[in-house]
Chains A and B, each alone.
Chain A
Amino acid sequence: MSDSLITETVKDAVEIVKDHADDVHVHDVHAGDDHSGDHGGHHTSLGLSNTKLAMWLFLGSECLLFGGLISTYMLYRNRHSENLGPDQLWDIPFTSATSFVLLTSSLTMVLAVSAANRKDLRNAKIYLSVTALLGGLFLAGQIYEFTVFYREGLGFTTSLFSSSFFTLTGFHGVHVSIGIIMLVALIGMLSKEKVSGDDAEAVEMVGLYWHFVDIVWIIIFTVIYLIEFIK
C-alpha cells in the first residue's frame, strides 16, 4: 500500500509532466479507484489505521530526541574527575541483569499483543501485567543504581559526564514510567466488560511504544555502558 503511495505519486508526476508539456491539464480519471461506492464509516485513503500512523510518526520524532541526548553524552563522557568516571562506577553485571529484564519485558509485550489480537483477554491481561512488572523491576534497578552512584559522590551536577548521564538515562526512565502507566491503564480497560476491536489496537500501540523504549535502551546499554570496556 505504501509502495503504491510512492509509485503512484511518482507515476502521476511523470504523467503530469508528459501530458502537460504545454502546461495544460487534462481531465484524467483516476485509474484503479478502489474507493467505490460507500465511503462513509471507516474510510481512510491508505486503508491504514490513523492511530498507528501517528504512533510511528511519533517514534520517528523520538529518534531525534534520544539522538540528541545520546550525542550530548558522547561529547561529554570523558569530562569527569579522575575517580568518578564510568571506570569506577559501572557495575556491568548488575546493569546487564536489569537490561535483560527490560529486554524480556519486550518479549512478554509481544505475547500480550498476540493474545489481544486473538481476543484472548485473560492471557493478554496476564502478559501485560508481567510486562508492567518487569518494567517496574527495571526502574527499581535504575533507581538503585542512581542511589549507589550518588553515595559514591556522583550527583547530577558533579561533572559534565554526570549531568549528561543522568539526563539521558533519566529521560529514558521517564519514558519507561509512562509506558508502565499506559500498561496499567490498558489492563484496566481490558477489565471492563465491553471489549471492542479498538482495545486490541490500543494494546498494539502501547506495544510499539514499549518496544521503542526497549531499543533505545539497547543503544544506551551498548554505547554508554559496554563501550567502556575498550581500553
Chain B
Amino acid sequence: MAIIERPTETPDVTNRGTRPAPKASTNYGYLRRPVETTGWRSWAFTVDHKKIGIMYGAVAMFFFILGGLEAALIRLQLAGPNGTILSADKYNQMFTMHATTMVFLFVMPMAAAFANYFIPLQIGARDVAFPRLNALSLWVFVFGGVFLNTSWFLGGGADGGWFMYAPNSSVPFSPTNGVDFWGLGLQITGIASLVGAINLIVTVLNMRAPGMSMMKMPIFTWMAFVVQMLLLFAIPVITVALFLLMFQRSFGAQFFSVEAGADPLLWQHLFWIFGHPEVYILVLPSFGIISEVLPVFSKKPLFGYPFVVFSGAAIGFVGWGVWAHHMFASGLGPVSVAVFSVATMAIAVPTGVKIINWTLTLWGGKLTFTTAMLFAVGLIVQFTIGGLSGVTHAVAPSDTQQTDTYYIVAHFHYVIFGGAVLGLFSGFYYWWPKVFGKLLSESLGKWNFWLMIAGMNLTFGPMHIIGLQGQPRRMYRWTEFRAGQGFFNLGFWNLVATIGTFVLGVGILFFLVNIWVTHRPNSKTPPAPADPWDARSLEWITSSPPKEYNFARTPQVSALDEFFHRKYEDVGEGDKHEYVQKMTGEEVIQFEEDNADPNIHLPAPSYWPMVLALALPVMAYGVIYNTLLIVAGGAIATMAMFGWALEPADAEASDFDPPVEGDETSKELSNV
C-alpha cells in the first residue's frame, strides 16, 4: 500500500513536507519502502490483502487455462482409437501436469484468493494479521508455480501421475528431471500454503470486529478457516514425503526402493494422509461460497447455520481418519480395509447434512436465478452425483473393480469440477461487483453457466460408462479391438467425452469474454450499485471496490447477517418474523462513512517478501543443477530475512515522496 493508505480525509496526513525523497542510506541500510500508489510497483510490493487476493486470482486463472489446455490435449488423444497426438511419454506428462496444475496451481490458490480478499472484509478487519507474510505467500506460490512449469522446457514435465507413487517416481523409472521439478515445486507452493494458513487462522481468531463472535462469522469465513486448519496440519505431511523423494532421487537414499528392502507403501501413506484432507481443502471453500450465495438469492437466512458450521468442522476432523481408502487395492490387509471403509462411509454423513441444509435454504424461498445462483445450484446437483459414485467406492470390494479405471476419473471430476470449480465460478459472479465495482453481464453469464454444465456432463458423464467397461485411466491409447458393441461402445463415448471437453472450453471462454466485455476500455457497463444483490454479510458494508482501509470505521457487529439486520427491521410479533426495510444498503454504507474513524493506520509495502520468495526457486534449481545455486539462494534468503527483520512495520515518514511529517509508527498490525 502506499500514500493512499493514509486516507487523505484523515487529519493527520494533511501536513506534507516538500523535501526530496531521502536516499536508501538514510534508512539504516535497508531499502526505502516502495510506497508508490500507481504502476506495477504498487502491485508487486503491496501488502494489501485485496490486491494480493486479486493477484492470487489472476495467476490461478492463468493456470486454470493452462491445465485446461492440457486436459484438452488428453481428450484429443483419446477421441478415437490409436490416437497419435501425444506419445506415451508426453501423455504421461500431460495427465500428471494437468492434475498438478489444477489442484495445486488453480483450485488451491483460487480458494486462497477468495480467502485473502474476503476474510478480512467479512470479519471487519483492516487487513490480515501479518500483511508482509501474506505477500510472501503470494510470491512463493507464483514463483513455485512458474518453477514447476519450467520443467516443460527443461527435459519434460513430471510423469508419475499426480500422486506420484513410489517406486515409479524413482530415477530408473523416470529419468528426466520432471519429478524433481514436481517435488521441489510442490515443496515451494507448500510453504506458501503453510504460511498463508497460519496467517489466516490468526486473522480469524484474533482480528474480528467488536461483537463478532465465532458464531456470528459469515459462513464463507468459517469454511475457509476450517480449510486453513487442514492445510496447517496436512502440508507438513507431504513435506516429509517430498523430502524423502528428493533424497531418494537427488542424494541416493533408498526410501522407496524395493530392492533395498524398502516399503514403497510408505509413500502412499504419507501422500494420502495429506491427500485426503486435501480434497476437503479443495472443496470446502466452494461450499462456503455457495452457502453465502444461496441465502442471498433465496431471500432467506442459511438454514441451520450452526449445522453447516459444525458439519464443516466435522468433515475437517473425520477427514483425517480415512486416507487409506485410496489404498484399498494395495494389499493393506483385511482389518485396515474394513476400518477405513467404515470410516469413509461415516464421512458421508456430515456432507449429507450440508446438502440438506442447502436444499432447505432454497425451500420456500423467493428464488432469483442469477448466474451466481445458477452456479450454486449447479454445484449441489453435480456434487451430489459425484458423492453418490463416491459411496460406491467406499465399499472396498466394489472399489477393487473400479480402481484405476475411468470410473474414478468420472467420480473425482464430478466432485472436484462439480464441487469446487462451480462454486468458485459462483463466487466470481457474486463478488465481481464487490471486487471490481462492475457487474458481469448476466446474459453472457448464462451462456457461461449452461455451456459449462452441458460440457462437464458430456465430458465426465460418459467416463462412468467407459470406466465400468474397463477402460483404464492413464492409458495413452485404446484400440478398436476391445471397444465393444452397441450402447457400450467405447469409441462412441470417448468421442462424446472429447466433444464435451470443447463445449466446456467454450463455456469457460464465455467467462473470459464476459470479463473483457465488462472492463474493456470503452465498455458501456455502468458502475455496479453498492448493494446489487441485497446481500447479507459484512463485506458489503463498505464501498465497492473497498478503499484500501476496507471500512470507513471498524464495524460494530451485533448479529449474524449483520448487513441484512441493518437494512431490515423485524416487525413481527413473538415467533412470527416479518421484515420491513428501514434503510437501503447505500444508506447503511453512507452512515458508516459519515462516522468514519479519524485515524487509520495501515502497514506499509515492502520489497522483502518478493526477494525472499525469489530465493526459493533459486535454491530449487540448485538441487537439480548445481549446488552453488543452493548457496546463492540461501544467501539471498538470509539477506531478505535480515532486511525484513530490520524493517519497521510502518513506512517511516521519510519513505514518502514527498515525505510526510509526523510520527506514523503505530503498530495496529503486527510487524512480522
Say whether A and B bind each other. Answer: yes
Interface residues of A (CB under 8 A from B): 5, 8-9, 12-14, 16-17, 20, 22-30, 33, 35, 39-46, 48, 50-51, 53-54, 57-58, 60-65, 68-69, 72, 75-76, 79, 156-157, 159-160, 163-164, 167, 185, 198
Contact B247 A163 (CB under 8 A): yes
Contact B201 A57 (CB under 8 A): yes
Specify which chain A residues have a CB less than 8 angstroms from the CB of B236 in the assembled complex.
61-65, 68
Specify which chain B residues have a CB less than 8 angstroms from the CB of A24 in the assembled complex.
300-301, 577
Q: Within 8 Å of chain A (Cβ to Cβ): is B305?
A: yes
Question: By CB atoms of chain A within 10 A, which of B130, B215, B216 has the most?
Answer: B215
A213 CB to nearest chain B CB (Å): 15
Contact B560 A16 (CB under 8 A): yes
Contact B205 A53 (CB under 8 A): yes
Q: Within 8 Å of chain A (Cβ to Cβ): is B198?
A: yes
Specify which chain B residues have a CB less than 8 angstroms from the CB of A64 in the assembled complex.
233-234, 236-237
Give 1 or 0 for each of B454-476: 1 = CB within 8 Å of chain A CB: 00000000000000000000000
Q: Count residues on chain B whose CB falls below 8 Å from chain A CBs.
A: 73
22 contacts between A and B (CB under 8 A): A12-B215, A13-B309, A13-B310, A23-B301, A23-B303, A23-B360, A25-B561, A30-B216, A41-B666, A42-B668, A43-B668, A46-B205, A53-B206, A54-B199, A57-B202, A64-B233, A64-B234, A65-B239, A72-B244, A72-B255, A156-B253, A157-B254
13 new A-B pairs (CB below 8 Å) besides A39-B554, A57-B232, A72-B255? Answer: A5-B205, A9-B215, A22-B577, A27-B565, A46-B206, A50-B206, A54-B129, A54-B202, A60-B232, A76-B255, A160-B255, A160-B261, A198-B671
Contact B130 A69 (CB under 8 A): no
Contact A156 B210 (CB under 8 A): no
Specify which chain A residues have a CB less than 8 angstroms from the CB of B237 in the assembled complex.
64-65, 68
Contact B559 A27 (CB under 8 A): yes
- Within B615-672, which residues are at the interface with A (CB < 8 Å)? 645, 666-668, 670-672
Specify which chain A residues have a CB less than 8 angstroms from the CB of B307 in the assembled complex.
17
Chain B residue at smallest Cβ distance from A33: B211
CA–CA, A57 and B200, complex, Å: 11
Chain B residue at smallest Cβ distance from A30: B211
CA–CA, A40 and B668, complex, Å: 7
Chain A residue at smallest Cβ distance from B642: A185
Contact B130 A50 (CB under 8 A): yes
CA–CA, A41 and B665, complex, Å: 11
CA–CA, A59 and B446, complex, Å: 47
Q: Within 8 Å of chain A (Cβ to Cβ): is B9?
A: no
B649 CB to nearest chain A CB (Å): 10
CA–CA, A9 and B668, complex, Å: 26
- Within B250-270, which residues are at the interface with A (CB < 8 Å)? 251-255, 260-263, 266, 270
Specify which chain A residues have a CB less than 8 angstroms from the CB of B309 in the assembled complex.
13
Contact B216 A26 (CB under 8 A): no
- Within B100-119, which residues are at the interface with A (CB < 8 Å)? none
CA–CA, A39 and B211, complex, Å: 12
Specify which chain B residues have a CB less than 8 angstroms from the CB of A9 in the assembled complex.
213-215
CA–CA, A26 and B216, complex, Å: 12
Question: By CB atoms of chain B within 10 A, which of A12, A13, A27, A63 has the most?
Answer: A27
Specify which chain A residues have a CB less than 8 angstroms from the CB of B199 in the assembled complex.
54
Contact B251 A156 (CB under 8 A): yes
Contact B255 A25 (CB under 8 A): no
A136 CB to nearest chain B CB (Å): 18
B592 CB to nearest chain A CB (Å): 14
Known: A45-B208, A48-B206, A65-B239. Contact between A26 and B577, CB under 8 A?
yes
CA–CA, A163 and B559, complex, Å: 56
Q: Residue B233 contacts which of A17, A33, A61 (CB distance < 8 angstroms)?
A: A61
Specify which chain B residues have a CB less than 8 angstroms from the CB of A26 in the assembled complex.
559, 570, 577
CA–CA, A35 and B212, complex, Å: 10
Contact B244 A61 (CB under 8 A): no
Q: Within 8 Å of chain A (Cβ to Cβ): is B142?
A: no
- Within B219-247, which residues are at the interface with A (CB < 8 Å)? 232-237, 239-241, 243-244, 247
Q: Within 8 Å of chain A (Cβ to Cβ): is B558?
A: yes
- Within B175-198, which residues are at the interface with A (CB < 8 Å)? 194, 197-198
CA–CA, A33 and B209, complex, Å: 11
Known: A57-B198, A57-B201, A61-B235. Contact between A45 and B667, CB under 8 A?
no
Contact B207 A44 (CB under 8 A): yes
Q: Within 8 Å of chain A (Cβ to Cβ): is B29?
A: no
Contact A23 B300 (CB under 8 A): yes
Q: Within 8 Å of chain A (Cβ to Cβ): is B597?
A: yes
